[in-house]
Amino acid sequence: MQQFVTVTLNGLTLAALYFVVASGFTLIFGLMRVVNMAHGSLYLLGGYIALEIQTRWFTSDSGLGLSLSGKSDAEYSVFAWLIPLVLATLIIGVIGVVLQQVFLRWNQGQDLRQALITIALSVILADQMLAYFGGISKDIAAPSAWPTSITLPGEVRFGFFRGVVVLSAAVLIGLGLYLIIKRTRFGKIVRAGVDDREMVSALGINVNRVFIGMFFLGALLAGIGGVLGGTMISLAPGQDTAFLLNSLIVVIIGGMGSLGGAAIGALALGLVDAYADVYLVFGDLDLTNYSIIVTFALLVGVLAFRPLGLYGRPA
Amino acid sequence: MFRRSHVALVAALAAGAVAGCGSESGSGSASGDGAKKAATDGGGGEPIKIGFLSDCEGAFGSFFEPTASGANLALIKYAGAKPAGEKPTDGVTGATIAGKPVEIVGYGCADDTADKAIEETRRLMEQEDADILIGPLSGDEGIAVANYAKEHPDKTFVNGIAGAQDSTLKVGAPNFFRFHPDGAQWSAGLGDYAYNKLGWKKAAIIGDDYSFPYTSLAGFVAEFCAIGGQIPKRVWAPLGEEDYSSYISQIPKDVDGLYVGIGGSGLISFIKQYEEQRGRVDTERMLGNVFWDDPLVLKEVGKSLVGGVTSAMTAADSDSPDVAAYIQGLKDNYGDEIAGAGPSVFTYGYYTGMTALIKGLEAAGGDVADQSKLQAELAKVTLSGEEAPWGDVKLDSNRQAISNVFLKKIVEDTTGDGVPDVQTFARVNDVDQTFNGAFSADTPAPDRENPKCEAGEAPPWVGQSEDVSFGE
């Protein structure tokens, strides 16, 4: 029972992280029909920028910095985590806008070309990050004052950052996005744009400004995800593609462009992932090694019955 | 969950998502920008070209400079070299062996995967034209390089610190030499300690899912089970995993103890997440493999490991003057930080490997045109004194080291640097690779399920470990 609760919490917290990252991905797609293949790079870059700010401003490092997690044993105040979080997120948001204005704006409506451009960017970014930040996995330090773990009823222990911070961040972000989409003028335009882009621009709305806002928001979410993920798990080369893949699975399950779909998709992916890692044992037959396949079985299953995803609508 | 192989999957999905675009296969490939050639200025004639191969990426990337410092120190002490820069991978100058200049053609950087190790081996041996390779660092890489060695009998390969059993026991390349114990040998004595001293009857094991931890844990399983212990559960997590939460929840609570075979950067994540999930690292019920008392690990999570017991070929608290001279050598040439990693098996393995290579080359008159003579001499090399400050080394017929192993406990800091210390309490002598026949070329290679847990004849050192107490 204890194990089941822990595994479920693992799944939920993974789902929370996937949701934060994938929500940005799905919003951009929903409005602009751009499959931003550089979304994973923005995730990783966001984490690395936060780490860089934290290391430069809040620790005093010297020598070769031989370390397995890329972290010194300094004390970290709450600001040593929050300031990098805010700055890195904003920087990634701006990078997202630049990416959209410089590379994608003049290709509006050409899905394939835009996807290829963003793939190219993600490959270039991946190599640049490898060259600059190295190939060793690194953690962003959480504030030292925060507890490492909390005890839930039934003697279940769980990580504080993972269980409390990441989960509540995801819930807050989900609520915030819901309010933006449902209650603001910007949200109205976005929703209208998801349904019929041509009509929206025909009504005299400056679509370019909406696109800028959307890309800023989408990239920002990738950046927040990067900082949360970098603290909860860690940052390493290859996580850009891993999180792009996760985002793709989440939005394909949930339906491209749907926020609720992203939440459901993230939950499905996170929980299936966590359960398959542990419970794929049949007597003596231990298949946990193949748990990743179950994730794709889920994907195949959803697509077989709902080709547009659970909440997807035709473009 | 987060693995490199995802690139292909992403490409496939991307293709679907944008209705059939081409596939992409870009993974990061920086080939050791720290790798610089070390020009030589002394001696005459054709230089002896040595390629150095270690990891600067992946789970063990942090050990790049320490491994280079070990190899360089041997050249500095026994071949008259001088460091060419502050960083070990800046290279060395002026090395000569048997009157011939020595050139390090490159400090190759792999990432703990076999394919990257072979790519770098090819670059060093075929493009940079090295005569001899020293390396690699990690288990799967070692097996791959040993197989490469088999196809290139005219060149010589001295293992760096890769500890998978297969690379000497199974592959059997006549030109591949390992002057340090393998992962199973490093675990010698722990099964005996767990069963007879700690009273464990049932133990679980957890390790990274690749050849080195298979070997490392195999050593424990073979010994612990031979004398009556049982292993009800084996948990394997991918190497370099960052999220161990689901693996930790699989560790059973109804066992007497746990042997942890997780290494590199993953060990740091594992320890932190274990603390999160179980409150503390219950070290009194745990044994750790070679990584537990590595200086880099102690520095980062040592406080959580106090009380844990581990074993390997080095002992940081040794009071031997040979050990002191070795550490001082590192300090004089590369400063405190590198010297601090001196007791790491990573530094030490490359040191003994390069030292043995220098001795072999001296004996062969520096002849690298026909390396059969060098290989014959290397097979006869033994190390002692300052050449192998933690214990004499000789090779068996598989060109695999026979040496001693220390059992150590991690204790509270006594030196005032804030980092827990290592206290050695026993030494197991003459540990050989076969565990008295439990492992041979015909037994199944260590893997997720092998060796099976079976009672049988105990290795000769069971009950024979010698009490050791340094500094008293």
Contacts of B87 in chain A (CB under 8 A): 64
Residue B261 near residue B208 (C-beta atoms within 8 A) = yes
The pLDDT-based confidence of B29 (bands split at 50, 70, 90) is very low
Q: Is residue A20 part of a domain?
A: yes
Q: Is residue A12 part of a domain?
A: yes
What tokens appear for B322 in the block? 């040979």
Answer with the residue of higher pLDDT: A38 or A157: A38
* In a shared domain, residues B275 and B418: yes
* In a shared domain, residues B295 and B426: yes
| A10 φψ region: left (φ > 0), alpha (ψ -120 to 50), beta (else) | alpha
Contacts of B337 in chain A (CB under 8 A): 63-64, 66
Min Cα distance A87 → chain B (Å) is 25
Q: Is residue B31 part of a domain?
A: no
Q: Is residue A252 part of a domain?
A: no
Min Cα distance A305 → chain B (Å) is 17
Contacts of B27 in chain A (CB under 8 A): 126, 238
Contact yes or no for A134 and B61 at CB 8 A: yes
Q: How far is CA B71 from the centre of its chain?
A: 14
Q: Is residue A42 part of a domain?
A: yes
Q: Which of A8, A68, A165 would you mutate first to test chain B, the one with the most B CBs within 10 A?
A: A68
Contact yes or no for A252 and B265 at CB 8 A: no
Mean pLDDT of chain A: 89
CATH code (residue B85): 3.40.50.2300
pLDDT given at position B18: 47
Contact yes or no for B277 and A238 at CB 8 A: no
Residue from the list B7, B243, B275 with its beta carbon closest to the beta carbon of A233: B243
* Nearest residue to B346 (alpha-carbon basis) of B44, B71, B21: B71
Contact yes or no for B242 and A274 at CB 8 A: no
Residue of B nearest to A110 (CA): B18
Per-residue pLDDT tens over the stretch B399-455: 999 999 999 999 999 888 889 999 999 999 999 999 988 899 999 999 999 999 999
pLDDT given at position B23: 35
Q: How far is CA A287 from the centre of its chain?
A: 28
DSSP β-ladder status, B309-312 and B466-467:
unpaired
What tokens appear for B384 in the block? 């002692």
* In a shared domain, residues B273 and B192: yes
Per-residue pLDDT tens over the stretch B172-184: 999 999 999 999 9
What tokens appear for B248 in the block? 């930790």
Question: Where does a domain end: B367, B402, B437?
Answer: B402
pLDDT given at position B19: 41
Min Cα distance B387 → chain A (Å) is 25
Contact yes or no for B62 and A136 at CB 8 A: yes
DSSP label of B209: S
Question: Facing residues of B237 across strands?
Answer: B208
pLDDT given at position B12: 56
Look up the domain containing A194 and give its range. Answer: 2-236
Q: How deeply is B44 buried, as exposed, middle or buried, from its count of CB atoms within 10 A (0-12, 13-18, 19+)? A: exposed
pLDDT given at position B20: 35
Q: Which of B33, B243, B268 would you mutate first to test chain A, the one with the most A CBs within 10 A?
A: B243
Residue of B nearest to A159 (CA): B276
pLDDT given at position B30: 39
* In a shared domain, residues B195 and B65: no
Min Cα distance A281 → chain B (Å) is 11
Contact yes or no for B27 and A126 at CB 8 A: yes
* In a shared domain, residues B58 and B173: yes
ipTM exceeds 0.90: no
Q: What sign for the dihedral angle of Cα B446, B452, B458, B462?
A: positive
Contacts of B28 in chain A (CB under 8 A): 126-127, 129-130, 135, 237-238
Residue of B nearest to A147 (CA): B276
Residue from the list B66, B236, B242 with its beta carbon closest to the beta carbon of A137: B242
Rounded Cα–Cα distance for residues B305 and B284 (Å): 10
Q: Is residue B264 part of a domain?
A: yes
* In a shared domain, residues B198 and B250: yes
Question: Facing residues of B426 across strands?
Answer: B407, B467
Contacts of B9 in chain A (CB under 8 A): 245
**Angle of CA points B268, B270, B274, to nearest 5°:** 125
Helices (H) and strands (E) in chain A, counts: 12, 4
Rounded Cα–Cα distance for residues B146 and B167 (Å): 6
Q: Is residue A264 part of a domain?
A: no
Q: How far is CA B390 from the centre of its chain?
A: 15
Hey, what amino acid is at A3? Q
Rounded Cα–Cα distance for residues A265 and A251 (Å): 6
* In a shared domain, residues B214 and B279: yes
Residue A156 near residue B83 (C-beta atoms within 8 A) = no
pLDDT given at position A152: 86
Q: Is residue B24 part of a domain?
A: no
Coil, strand or helix: which one is A121?
helix
Residue from the list B249, B264, B277 with its beta carbon closest to the beta carbon of A68: B264
Q: Is residue A179 part of a domain?
A: yes
Contact yes or no for B276 and A149 at CB 8 A: yes
Q: Is residue A128 part of a domain?
A: yes
Q: How far is CA B286 from the centre of its chain?
A: 21
The pLDDT-based confidence of B14 (bands split at 50, 70, 90) is low
Q: Does residue B335 have a pLDDT over 60?
A: yes
- In chain A the beta strands, taken as DSSP E runs, fall at 149-152, 156-159, 281-282, 285-286
Percent of chain B with pLDDT over 90: 80
Residue of B nearest to A11 (CA): B246
* In a shared domain, residues B149 and B292: no
Residue from the list B17, B247, B296 with its beta carbon closest to the beta carbon of A248: B17
Residue from the list B10, B66, B111 with its beta carbon closest to the beta carbon of A241: B10
Q: Is residue B381 part of a domain?
A: yes
Q: Which of B4, B10, B64 would you mutate first to test chain A, the one with the most A CBs within 10 A?
A: B10
Contacts of A130 in chain B (CB under 8 A): 28, 30, 57
* In a shared domain, residues B274 and B419: yes
Contacts of B24 in chain A (CB under 8 A): 119, 123
Contacts of B21 in chain A (CB under 8 A): 112, 115-116, 119
pLDDT given at position A231: 93
Contacts of A249 in chain B (CB under 8 A): 13
Number of domains in chain A: 1
Q: Is residue B332 part of a domain?
A: yes
| A174 phi, psi to nearest 5 deg | -60, -50
* In a shared domain, residues B198 and B77: no
pLDDT given at position B472: 58
Contact yes or no for B13 and A14 at CB 8 A: no
Q: Is residue A72 part of a domain?
A: yes
Contact yes or no for B276 and A126 at CB 8 A: no
Per-residue pLDDT tens over the stretch A252-307: 999 888 889 999 999 999 999 889 888 888 877 878 778 888 988 999 999 999 98
Residue B236 near residue B261 (C-beta atoms within 8 A) = no
Q: Is residue B385 part of a domain?
A: yes
Answer with the residue of higher pLDDT: B120 or A3: B120
Residue of A nearest to B67 (CA): A66
Residue from the list A66, A277, A278 with its beta carbon closest to the beta carbon of B337: A66
Min Cα distance B336 → chain A (Å) is 9
Contacts of B250 in chain A (CB under 8 A): 3, 278, 288
Per-residue pLDDT tens over the stretch B137-186: 999 999 999 999 999 999 999 999 999 999 999 999 999 999 999 999 99
Min Cα distance A306 → chain B (Å) is 15
pLDDT given at position B43: 45
pLDDT given at position A151: 87
Answer with the residue of higher pLDDT: B3 or A292: A292
* In a shared domain, residues B281 and B428: yes
Number of domains in chain B: 2
pLDDT given at position A139: 87
Q: Is residue B20 part of a domain?
A: no
Mean pLDDT of chain B: 90
pLDDT given at position B10: 60
Residue from the list B7, B249, B448 with its beta carbon closest to the beta carbon of A3: B249
Contacts of B206 in chain A (CB under 8 A): none
Rounded Cα–Cα distance for residues A75 and A58 (Å): 9
Helix (H) or strand (E) holding B78: helix B64-78
Per-residue pLDDT tens over the stretch B49-69: 999 999 998 889 999 999 999
The answer for residues whose C-beta is within 8 angstroms of residue B214's C-beta and 6 or more apart is B139, B164, B165, B207, B445, B446, B447, B448, B450
* In a shared domain, residues B125 and B208: no
Contact yes or no for B9 and A35 at CB 8 A: no
Per-residue pLDDT tens over the stretch B79-111: 999 999 999 999 999 999 999 999 999 999 999
Contact yes or no for A127 and B7 at CB 8 A: no
Contact yes or no for A157 and B276 at CB 8 A: yes
Residue from the list A66, A238, A274 with its beta carbon closest to the beta carbon of B6: A238
Look up the domain containing B314 and give its range. Answer: 185-318+404-467
Rounded Cα–Cα distance for residues B176 and B162 (Å): 12
The pLDDT-based confidence of B6 (bands split at 50, 70, 90) is low
Rounded Cα–Cα distance for residues A34 and A26 (Å): 9
Q: What sign for the dihedral angle of Cα B86, B91, B93, B95?
A: positive
pLDDT given at position B3: 45
Q: Is residue B231 part of a domain?
A: yes
Residue B193 near residue B409 (C-beta atoms within 8 A) = no
Mean predicted confidence (pLDDT) in A95-105: 93
